């Protein structure tokens, strides 16, 4: 009897509910078809499988489901839960997608009129060219002087001057200027050849309409998507200029002249971002980790240039707040996924992209492992400390991340996250192998290592606010279970910090709260206290930069203990009560600070400042 492809299906037969089936199908790789005699009349919602085999499948395929079916001992009930979680996950994916048409406008700058003419004759029919000379003169090509080039977002911005000796609105084409020029530099087309002009102004003298000014120039501006340079430019280009092409790399320019689909998969929520656009300060981990120059920090905050973004995952892994997300599997979906899928207690979670999952299935076919859960995650380089700590707090003892054979290890954001996770868990549990990176070649040897110890009880809280909140909850479980208190100051990537306050300086103005969007800095309005929650602090330093009294300092040393997860009081203020009604309307220290400043101004009446906003109005009317 021929063996068929064994898989799991989530099917619907017309009723509102879905059914889970484990079956064998006749699969022809490359045709995208499943065949089975008992599927007649049923609608397949999801199947275990690989898109490389069936790229045109009319229903979603799940490598996660296929590997858990083929390579683990999970029960049909648990596989059914995975199938439903996978279907929900895939249906929830939403991101903006659109087509960008090619823009064939280009400014071509050359140091030779002959080169420019040749380029125009060759490509003038397919490109919208604005030619500029930087040396010499030509009757049909403008010569640019005082040329400045700027990088204006995705476009090239040029500012320059061109000579404009003849005002054509005043010129009557009388013909007197031509013979009057001793150098014969004015042509019948009114082109003035400045290569031979001596600025004798004889042409100006004979022009009765005052249409000629040999020193006249026009200021011009051009903005184009690309710049081509033929020869020597003689102008310094800004650093990081990308849309500039030289003669030897013209094929690279022509490769851009095609419509392309843009998927805005990586997004940024500036309401969570700890970069202050007004100050130009704060967290810049996404910017410093992006190898494709796709992250922009400007007056708008942080934006992702989806045309440059390669979905490498570096910015998503580095982001400590979760402002940056990969919409194919965002943080909220990740947490919700494990509300439905139970991780085997003290087991191993194996994470990899579909390609490596497919290869692993092929090489491991027939080997079933206990206490293992496979998870397809197509950009493993976007995994962060949040992902690792969350999985471990959910019962996992080890996380194995599948990497390509020959993966070049370096200092990527994702590698830093793994190193930090292992360092923290080593200090808390003396466990060195909580998160392991492995190639398929070394997979069996890694899985053969028996797991000692345990991370204790499992977190059952699946509420989601943001990445940092979920990380704090997961980390709290792990710290509590360890029974240890450890002080850390890791080298390199440190998304934690301790803030201290000089209470003598602090006036409780609460300016530090305004840009702490992750809410590590907090205030108790009833107790008039300024508090700091270390577990939420990402160490961006904005609170220190904003404090007008220079009362705050920051240290990247932190202590993992129970206090790490509860607000710490930094300062407590004496209330300022209304002299008339007793209502609290501020702090005594801030009031004294304002009074000290106003006391230097002789014309300011401060007598009514001791009253609340309501009584102050009454007092002012009484004094009239």
Rounded Cα distance between 422 and 425, Å, is 5
For residues 111 and 242, state if they share a domain: yes
Q: How confident is the model at residue 203 (pLDDT cuts 50, 70, 90)?
A: very high
For residues 117 and 241, state if they share a domain: yes
**C-alpha neighbours within 13 Å on the C-beta side of residue 612:** 13
DSSP E strands in 485-567: the ranges are 486-488, 498-501, 521-524, 529-532, 552-555, 558-560
Mean pLDDT of 38-49: 82
Dihedral pair phi/psi, residue 399, rounded to 5°: -115, 125
For residues 184 and 159, state if they share a domain: yes
- As given in the structure block, the two tokens for residue 442 are 């070394």
What percent of the chain shows pLDDT beyond 70?
Answer: 96
Residue 618 lies in a domain: yes
Rounded Cα distance between 589 and 572, Å, is 10
CATH number, domain containing residue 138: 3.50.50
Q: How confident is the model at residue 35 (pLDDT cuts 50, 70, 90)?
A: low
User: What pTM was computed for the model?
Assistant: 0.81
Q: How many structural domains are present in the chain?
A: 5
**C-alpha neighbours within 13 Å on the C-beta side of residue 367:** 12
Residue 196 lies in a domain: yes
pLDDT tens-place string over residues 133-167: 999 889 889 999 999 988 776 788 999 999 999 99
State the SS3 of 98-111: EEECCCCEEEEEEC
What SS3 class is residue 35? strand
Q: Which residue has the tokens 């004798």?
A: 200
Dihedral pair phi/psi, residue 110, rounded to 5°: -135, 155
State the SS3 of 207-250: CCCCCECCCCEEEEEEEECCEEEECCCCCCCCCCCCCEEEHHHH
Q: How confident is the model at residue 50 (pLDDT cuts 50, 70, 90)?
A: very high
Mean pLDDT (the chain) is: 90
Q: What is the span of the domain harbouring residue 307?
A: 260-326
For residues 568 and 581, state if they share a domain: no
pLDDT tens-place string over residues 341-375: 999 999 999 999 999 999 999 999 889 999 999 99
Q: Which residue has the tokens 């979680």?
A: 85
List 303's β-bridge partners, or say none. 296
Which class for 264: exposed (0-12), middle (13-18), buried (19 or more C-beta within 10 A)?
middle
- As given in the structure block, the two tokens for residue 560 are 């993992």
For residues 276 and 315, state if they share a domain: yes
For residues 505 and 618, state if they share a domain: no
Kindly list the strands in the beta sheet with 34-35, ordered across the sheet, starting from the edge strand earlier in the chain: 34-35, 19-27, 5-12, 43-48, 61-62
Q: Please, which residues have CB within 8 angstroms of residue 579's CB and are 6 or more apart in sequence?
A: 610, 611, 615
pLDDT of residue 37: 45
Q: Please, which residues have CB within 8 angstroms of residue 512's CB and are 6 or more apart in sequence?
A: 521, 530, 543, 546, 547, 552
Residue 579 has pLDDT above 80, yes or no: yes
For residues 144 and 188, state if they share a domain: yes
pLDDT of residue 542: 96
Residue 332 lies in a domain: no
For residues 10 and 60, state if they share a domain: yes
């Amino acid at each position: 009897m021929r063996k068929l492809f064994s898989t799991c299906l989530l099917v619907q037969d017309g009723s509102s509910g879905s059914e889970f089936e484990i079956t064998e199908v006749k699969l022809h790789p490359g045709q995208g078809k499943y065949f089975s005699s008992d599927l007649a009349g049923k609608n397949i919602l999801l199947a275990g499988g690989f898109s490389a085999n069936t790229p045109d499948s009319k229903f979603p395929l799940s490598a996660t489901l296929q590997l858990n079916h083929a390579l683990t001992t999970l029960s049909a009930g648990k596989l059914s839960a995975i199938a439903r979680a996978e279907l929900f996950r895939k249906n929830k994916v939403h991101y903006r997608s659109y087509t960008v048409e090619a823009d064939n406008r280009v400014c071509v700058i050359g140091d030779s009129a002959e080169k420019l003419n040749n380029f125009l004759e060759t490509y003038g029919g397919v490109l919208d060219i604005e030619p500029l000379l930087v040396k010499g003169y030509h009757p049909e090509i403008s010569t640019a002087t005082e040329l400045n080039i700027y990088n204006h977002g995705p476009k090239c911005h040029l500012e320059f001057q061109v000579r404009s000796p003849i005002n054509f609105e005043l010129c009557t084409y009388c013909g007197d200027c031509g013979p009057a020029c001793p150098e014969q530099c004015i042509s019948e087309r009114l082109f003035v050849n400045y290569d031979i002009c001596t600025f004798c102004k004889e042409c100006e003298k004979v022009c009765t309409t005052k249409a000629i000014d040999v020193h006249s120039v026009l200021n011009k501006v051009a903005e184009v998507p690309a710049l081509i340079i033929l020869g020597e430019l003689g102008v310094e280009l800004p650093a990081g200029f990308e849309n500039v092409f030289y003669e030897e790399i013209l094929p690279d320019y022509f490769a851009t002249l095609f419509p392309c689909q843009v998927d805005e998969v990586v997004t940024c929520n500036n309401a969570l971002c700890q970069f202050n656009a007004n100050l130009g300060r704060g967290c810049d981990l996404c910017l410093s980790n992006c190898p494709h120059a796709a992250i922009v920090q400007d007056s708008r905050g942080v934006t992702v240039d989806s045309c440059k973004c390669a979905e490498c995952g570096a910015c998503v892994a580095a982001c400590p707040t979760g402002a940056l997300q990969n919409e194919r599997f965002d943080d909220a979906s990740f947490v919700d996924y494990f509300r439905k899928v139970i991780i085997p207690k003290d087991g191993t979670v194996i994470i990899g992209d579909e390609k490596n999952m497919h290869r692993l299935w092929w090489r491991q076919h027939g080997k079933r492992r206990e206490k293992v859960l496979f998870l397809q995650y197509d950009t493993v380089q976007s995994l962060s400390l949040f992902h690792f700590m969350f999985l471990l707090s959910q019962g996992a003892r080890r996380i194995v991340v599948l990497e390509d054979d020959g993966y070049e290890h370096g200092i990527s954001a994702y590698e830093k996250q793994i190193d930090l996770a292992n360092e923290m868990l080593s200090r808390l549990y003396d466990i060195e192998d909580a998160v392991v990176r492995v190639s398929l070649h070394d997979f069996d040897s890694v899985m053969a290592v028996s797991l000692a110890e345990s991370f204790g009880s499992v977190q059952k809280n699946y509420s989601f606010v943001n990445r940092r909140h979920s990380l704090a909850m997961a980390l709290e479980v792990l710290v509590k279970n360890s029974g240890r208190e450890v002080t850390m100051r890791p080298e390199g990537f440190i998304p934690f910090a301790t803030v201290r306050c000089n209470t003598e300086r602090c006036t409780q103005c609460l300016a530090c709260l305004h840009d702490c969007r992750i809410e590590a800095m907090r205030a108790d309005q009833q107790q008039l206290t300024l508090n700091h929650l270390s577990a939420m602090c990402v160490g961006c330093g904005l609170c220190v930069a904003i404090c007008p009294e220079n009362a705050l300092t920051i240290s990247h040393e932190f202590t993992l203990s129970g206090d790490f997860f509860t607000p710490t009081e930094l300062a407590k203020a004496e209330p300022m009560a209304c002299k008339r009604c007793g209502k609290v309307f501020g702090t005594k220290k801030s009031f004294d600070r304002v009074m000290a400043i106003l006391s230097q101004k002789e014309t300011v009446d401060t007598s009514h400042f001791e009253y609340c906003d309501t009584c102050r109005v009454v007092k002012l009317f009484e004094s009239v």
